[in-house]
């Protein structure tokens, strides 16, 4: 019997419940209290960006200043930041990818309110979920039949595959089902695709190869995590009849379920490749939706009296997220 249990532990199929502990502190609202709609945030370094009332804003954590990046009547959402570069989807009126660079502030392409922003796309199609890593940008785009994964490289600007408005972009997928919610890190790309249920696709930019990773139950929201020179795909799945967090090793080609208390749902996982805290996700453990994390031990980031934390992002020890509070959508930060 002991041998059987030991084998199950190694395979990741046996877990004892683990209680979370609270290490997150200094919860603070960083959105403007006069606003009612603040879309999910993105963080890199000390800059937090999001769409507020349809325009892009940035909160600089080093000086506490909240500034407008855009200020016009076209609706914007799906904001993403990496290093100095910011991108978003703008409905002007057709959905396009636009962007700016804090390193160009005061010039064309800068992120000051009056700087001219750049157009990255100009096609007549719906675009969603842009993600950045270093010089690469990928997103999901509707091709007239379904959503595909499309990308460009700022290092190729002016040539095929570049990110200028008139550059031909690279279609990474071309199939008959929806490919959505991509994530990108160090040349590795994952996304979810729907074929009878939601599964996970993978593409290696260095090898130019793609494959299907998961096809059991609904696999949602995959993210690339790198720990100690090993790559993992972290995602949520209902294959055990409730939403749980799993991680799949790209090195050993094996998967494990994170050791979570049964009977609750966990979903919308985010990874942190720039700090000790590896993961955070939404959980139903304390109500509708609160936040929980993992850094070798479990972390409770719930707030007393608030039961709708969601849409999180991570950088270093900083956790940013959206809260629905008194009918308003607010952006908060905590340090964990």
Within-domain flag for 307:
yes
Encode pLDDT of 186-226 as tens digits: 999 999 999 889 999 999 998 888 888 866 779 999 999 99
Average pLDDT, the chain: 91
What is the rounded distance in angstroms from the CA atom of residue 50 to the CA atom of residue 189? 23
> What would the mean pLDDT of 268-279 be, rounded to a whole number?
94
Encode pLDDT of 245-256 as tens digits: 999 999 999 999
Encode pLDDT of 323-333 as tens digits: 998 889 999 99
Within-domain flag for 323:
yes
Within-domain flag for 28:
yes
> What would the mean pLDDT of 119-144 be, rounded to a whole number?
97
Task: Identify the residue whose tokens are 């850094």.
Answer: 295
Burial zone of 157 (CB within 10 Å; 0-12 exposed, 13-18 middle, 19+ buried)? middle
Within-domain flag for 336:
yes
Number of domains forming the structure of the chain: 1
Within-domain flag for 285:
yes
Confidence (pLDDT) at 307: 86
Encode pLDDT of 79-96 as tens digits: 999 999 999 999 988 999
Domain containing residue 329: 15-32+274-336
| Residue among 98, 64, 61 at smallest CA distance from 79 | 98
Confidence (pLDDT) at 109: 98
Encode pLDDT of 47-70 as tens digits: 999 999 999 999 999 999 999 999
Within-domain flag for 73:
no
| Terminal C-alpha separation, the chain | 40
pLDDT confidence of 19, banded at 50, 70, 90? Answer: low
User: E strands of 205-317, at which residues?
Assistant: 209-214, 219-227, 230-237, 244-249, 254-257, 266-271, 279-283, 290-294, 298-300, 309-315
pLDDT confidence of 125, banded at 50, 70, 90? Answer: very high
Tokens of 172: 């990474």
221 neighbors 236 (Cβ within 8 angstroms): yes
Within-domain flag for 178:
no
Confidence (pLDDT) at 21: 66
The answer on pLDDT for 15 being more than 60 is no
The answer on pLDDT for 39 being more than 60 is yes
Within-domain flag for 290:
yes
If DSSP codes are grouped into helix, strand and coil, which group holds residue 8?
A: helix
């Amino acid at each position: 019997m002991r041998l059987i249990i030991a084998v199950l532990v190694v395979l990741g199929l046996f877990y004892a419940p683990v209680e979370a502990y609270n290490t997150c502190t200094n919860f603070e609202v960083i959105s403007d209290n006069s606003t009612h709609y603040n879309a999910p945030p993105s963080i890199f370094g000390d800059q937090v960006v999001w769409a507020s009332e349809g325009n892009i804003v940035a909160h600089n954590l080093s000086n506490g200043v909240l500034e407008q990046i855009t200020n016009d009547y076209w609706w914007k959402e799906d904001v993403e930041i990496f290093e100095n570069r910011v991108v978003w989807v703008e409905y002007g009126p057709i959905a396009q990818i636009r962007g700016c660079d804090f390193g160009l502030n005061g010039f064309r392409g800068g992120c000051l309110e009056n700087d001219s922003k750049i157009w990255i796309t100009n096609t007549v199609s719906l675009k969603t979920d842009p993600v950045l890593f270093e010089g690469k940008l990928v997103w999901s785009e509707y091709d007239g039949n379904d959503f595909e994964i499309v990308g460009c490289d700022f290092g190729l600007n002016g040539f095929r595959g570049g990110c200028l408005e008139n550059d031909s972009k690279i279609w990474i997928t071309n199939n008959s089902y929806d490919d959505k919610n991509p994530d990108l890190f160090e040349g590795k790309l994952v996304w979810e695709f729907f074929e009878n249920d939601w599964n996970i696709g993978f593409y290696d930019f260095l090898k130019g190869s793609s494959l299907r990773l998961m096809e059991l139950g609904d696999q949602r929201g995959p993210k690339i995590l790198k720990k100690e020179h090993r790559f993992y795909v972290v995602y949520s799945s209902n294959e055990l009849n409730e939403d749980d967090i799993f991680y799949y090793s790209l090195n050993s080609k094996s998967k494990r379920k994170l050791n979570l208390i049964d009977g609750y749902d966990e979903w919308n996982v985010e990874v942190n490749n720039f700090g000790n805290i590896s993961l955070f996700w939404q959980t139903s453990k304390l109500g509708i939706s609160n936040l929980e994390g993992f850094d070798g031990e479990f972390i409770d980031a719930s707030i007393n009296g608030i039961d709708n934390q969601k849409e999180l992002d991570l950088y270093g020890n900083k956790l940013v997220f959206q809260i629905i509070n008194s009918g308003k959508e607010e952006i908060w930060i905590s340090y964990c």
